[in-house]
Amino acid sequence: MKKREKNNVGQCSAEHERPHRRREVLKVGVLGAMAAWAGAGKVLASSETANKQRRYAMVIDLRRCVGCHACSVACKSENNVPLGVWRSWVKQVERGKFPNTQRHFLPRLCNHCEEPACVAACPTKATYKREDGIILIHEERCIGCKLCMVACPYDARFLQPDKGVVNKCTFCEHRVDQGVVPACVNTCQGKARIFGDLNDPTSEVAKLVAREPIQVLKPELGTKPRVFYIASDTGVAGRIRKEI
Amino acid sequence: MEQVIVYNVEHHEAMGVLIVIYFFLSGLGAGAFLTAAGLRLFGGEKYARIEKTAAIAAPLLLMPGLLCLVIELGKPLRFLNMFFYFNPSSVASWGVWVINIFLAIAVLYAFLHVIGKAGMVRPLAYLGFVFALAVGFYSGMLLYQMHGYILWHSALIPVIFLVSAIASGLAVVLLLSGSADADQTRVLSKVLAVVVGVDLVLALTEVLTLAWSSGEKAAVAEVILSGGYGFLFIGVYLIAGLVLPLMVLARQRTSRNVQVVAAVLVLVGTLAMRYVIVMGGQALPLS
């Protein structure tokens, strides 16, 4: 397996290198190294399936989630998501009475379903599934009819207040296309979010999905979500319930 | 065991009151046209006067409804995209063609009545009859496609929407036909009573199957049978909008006052039902 450059920030600094301005080179290089140390630009594992069709997916290992909401913040910042609406958030439920109590987390985002109800319902084909499985929206074609919002059984979509068109999580397709993982995955403190190519048997997501006891949200609807949860709790999955 | 929801994001309701009004008005338009075409095809020439009223009312009721639909869009000026792009798996994509072809037929039909060429409209009445049925059916079908919403995802919803569209259309024509022959309005109110009866059976079937189930279906039943939605659904729709008109029309169909009261009750009930189905259907959070 051919190793790719360790991080994209390093690549950036290489591009900006100018022989006569050594101090700047040094500065960029140091910043790059710091960023690399912080894990700022985790790259997608290089794929042996480069010629095969990719299928991007995410695994969220809830045993590692501490409910810090860093993913929600990173998403807001990366994608300029307006106030009041969220592409990604962490649902939290508290169950039991002290001392027998526990908080359960469920990081949420678009499920990038294999059988997306939103794509089926869109009257203008503005929302579509890319070949690699990412569900996107042609913003210039969307009429804001909101039918995809009601079609989605996961409440993942919203009307962007400033644009009048529908918006949602895109798996950070602008980052993924550059070979970098989505912002939420990149920032996750407990490394609970793992992103990769499900069709590449050597990728971490493919291994986890194959080996771990995974669950998806509302599997009974047949939408085949491509966001998989490990150790998903019944109290947070699905509709809000006052008791289980 | 009890649990507390500490944090969650619920995005705003996608379908608002304008959609309720659109469903109501498009149902009225389709129902009024079905009345006009039905009188032409099954009633004959003697109903020409009521038929003309109904034929003119149909497009006038439908058009403000379509306006509501366009205003409700996030990008109203892009509504033409609905015609440029077609998605065969989307009910709305079919619906926009069905409803606009129907609008064209209804306008032409009304125009022919206005210029007094009503005699030659029989083929148009057949065609429009089919499209009006499709329009009444489609709004419920649109909701049915949204399989995350339990109240909407029922095979009875499109049928209930169609039947209540016919009932409300008959009611509005009955209201507008004050100067028509008493014998003819009596026939109209008889048909209205039958349609209202069918609507009542369908609505009871729908709500009782929900109430007698468990889990999420029972939770949805609780939403539409209690509180404000309960008042609208049971009080305004089931009792005032269906049972009362059925009772008064069964006893006394000839009195103009009874006809007017029954027609108004049916109209108010249909609007309340559309409101409860659309808004109440979205009341429970999805996640």
User: What confidence tens digit (pLDDT) does each residue in A45-98 have?
Assistant: 655 555 679 999 999 999 999 999 999 999 999 999 999 999 999 999 999 999
Asked if residue B142 belongs to a domain, the reply is yes
Mean pLDDT computed over B102-110 = 96
Mean pLDDT computed over B182-196 = 92
Q: Which residues in chain B have Cβ-Cβ distances shorter than 8 Å to A151?
A: 145-148
Question: Is B164's pLDDT higher than 90?
Answer: yes
Average pLDDT, rounded, for chain B: 94
Residue B178's domain comprises: 17-281
Contact A217 B287 (CB under 8 A): yes
Q: Which DSSP string corresponds to A23-88? A: HHHHHHHHHHHHHHHTTTTBBPPPPTTTTSPP-EEEEEETTS-----HHHHHHHHHHTPPTT--SS
**Residue B16 confidence class, pLDDT cut points 50, 70, 90:** very high
Residue recorded with tokens 């609807």: A221
Q: HSE (CB half, 13 Å, CA atoms) of A236? A: 26
Contact B287 A91 (CB under 8 A): yes
Contact A153/B at CB under 8 A? yes
Q: Model's pTM, two decimal places?
A: 0.89
Tokens of B199: 């609507």
Residue of B nearest to A106 (CA): B8
User: Can you give the pLDDT at residue A1?
Assistant: 39
Asked if residue B218 belongs to a domain, the reply is yes
Q: Closest partner residue to B286 among A89, A124, A153, by Cβ?
A: A153
User: Can you give the pLDDT at residue B181?
Assistant: 84
- This model of the complex carries an ipTM of 0.91
Contact A93 B6 (CB under 8 A): yes
The CATH number assigned to the domain holding B162 equals: 1.20.1630.10
Residue ranges of A 81-120 with Cβ closer than 8 A to chain B: 85-86, 89-96, 103, 108, 117, 119-120
Pick from A50-64, B190-204, B218-232, B255-269: least confident: A50-64
Mean pLDDT computed over B252-265 = 90
Instruction: Note every long-range contact of A74-78, with CB atoms under 8 Å and residues 24 or more positions apart, other chains counting.
Output: A74/A183, A74/A184, A74/A186, A74/A187, A75/A109, A75/A169, A75/A183, A75/A184, A77/A183, A78/A172, A78/A175, A78/A183
Contact A141/B at CB under 8 A? yes
Question: What letter would DSSP give residue B2?
Answer: B
**Residue B117 confidence class, pLDDT cut points 50, 70, 90:** confident
List the one residue out of A36, A112, A148 whose CA is nearest residue B93.
Answer: A148
Distance between B35 CA and the closest CA of chain A, angstroms: 30
Distance between A72 CA and the closest CA of chain B, angstroms: 11
Give A2 or B60, the one with higher predicted confidence.
Answer: B60
User: Can you give the pLDDT at residue B45?
Assistant: 83
Mean pLDDT computed over B167-192 = 92
Q: Closest partner residue to B14 among A149, A165, A244, by Cβ?
A: A149
Task: Give dist(CA A102, CA B62) in Å, integer.
Answer: 55
Contact B7/A at CB under 8 A? yes
Task: Give dist(CA A113, CA A198) in Å, integer.
Answer: 13
CB contacts < 8 A (A, B): 160
Contact A121/B at CB under 8 A? yes
Contact A152/B at CB under 8 A? yes
User: Can you give the pLDDT at residue A29?
Assistant: 53
What's the burial of B187, exposed, middle or buried (CB within 10 Å: 0-12/13-18/19+)?
A: middle
Distance between B10 CA and the closest CA of chain A, angstroms: 7
Distance between A74 CA and the closest CA of chain B, angstroms: 16
Contact A151 B5 (CB under 8 A): no
| Phi, psi for residue B78 in degrees, rounded to 5 | -90, 10
Average pLDDT, rounded, for chain A: 85
Contact B153/A at CB under 8 A? no
**Residue A21 confidence class, pLDDT cut points 50, 70, 90:** very low
User: Can you give the pLDDT at residue B232?
Assistant: 98
Asked if residue B3 belongs to a domain, the reply is no
List the one residue out of B29, B49, B28, B30 whose CA is nearest residue B39.
Answer: B49
Four-residue CA torsion sign, B157, B159, B160, B162: positive
Number of domain units in chain B: 1
Question: Is A32's pLDDT higher than 60?
Answer: no
Mean pLDDT computed over B153-158 = 96
Whether the CB-CB separation of B109 and B128 falls below 8 Å is answered with yes
Q: HSE (CB half, 13 Å, CA atoms) of A30? A: 5
Whether the CB-CB separation of B84 and B199 falls below 8 Å is answered with no
User: Can you give the pLDDT at residue B253?
Assistant: 78
User: Can you give the pLDDT at residue A40?
Assistant: 54
Asked if residue B23 belongs to a domain, the reply is yes
Contact A146 B96 (CB under 8 A): no
Distance between A166 CA and the closest CA of chain B, angstroms: 8
Question: Is B262's pLDDT higher than 50?
Answer: yes
**If you compute the radius of gyration of chain B from its CA atoms, what whole number of angstroms results?**
20
List the one residue out of A206, A244, A202 whose CA is nearest residue A228.
Answer: A206
User: Can you give the pLDDT at residue A243?
Assistant: 81
Asked if residue B52 belongs to a domain, the reply is yes
Question: Is B162's pLDDT higher than 50?
Answer: yes
Asked if residue B286 belongs to a domain, the reply is no
Contact A155 B9 (CB under 8 A): yes
CA A100 from centroid of its chain's CA atoms: 33
Mean pLDDT computed over A132-137 = 96
Asked if residue B2 belongs to a domain, the reply is no
Give the sheet arrangement for strand A89-97, strand by strand.
A100-108, A89-97, B3-7
Mean pLDDT computed over B197-209 = 97
User: Can you give the pLDDT at residue B121?
Assistant: 76
Mean pLDDT computed over A173-202 = 96
Contact B81 A96 (CB under 8 A): no
Q: Which of B1, B7, B69, B217 is best to mutate for the A interface (most A CBs within 10 A)?
A: B7
Percent of chain B with pLDDT over 90: 83
Q: Which of B10, B90, B96, B141 is best to mutate for the A interface (most A CBs within 10 A)?
A: B90
Task: Give dist(CA B257, CA B136) in Å, integer.
Answer: 28
The b/e string for A40-49 (b: 16+ C-beta within 10 A; e otherwise) is bbbbbbebeb
Residue of A nearest to B14 (CA): A146
Q: Which residues in chain B have Cβ-Cβ distances shorter than 8 Å to A85?
A: 11
Whether the CB-CB separation of A59 and A230 falls below 8 Å is answered with yes
Asked if residue B50 belongs to a domain, the reply is yes
3-state secondary structure of A165: coil
Q: Closest partner residue to B1 among A119, A123, A243, by Cβ?
A: A243
Distance between B5 CA and the closest CA of chain A, angstroms: 5
CA B267 from centroid of its chain's CA atoms: 10
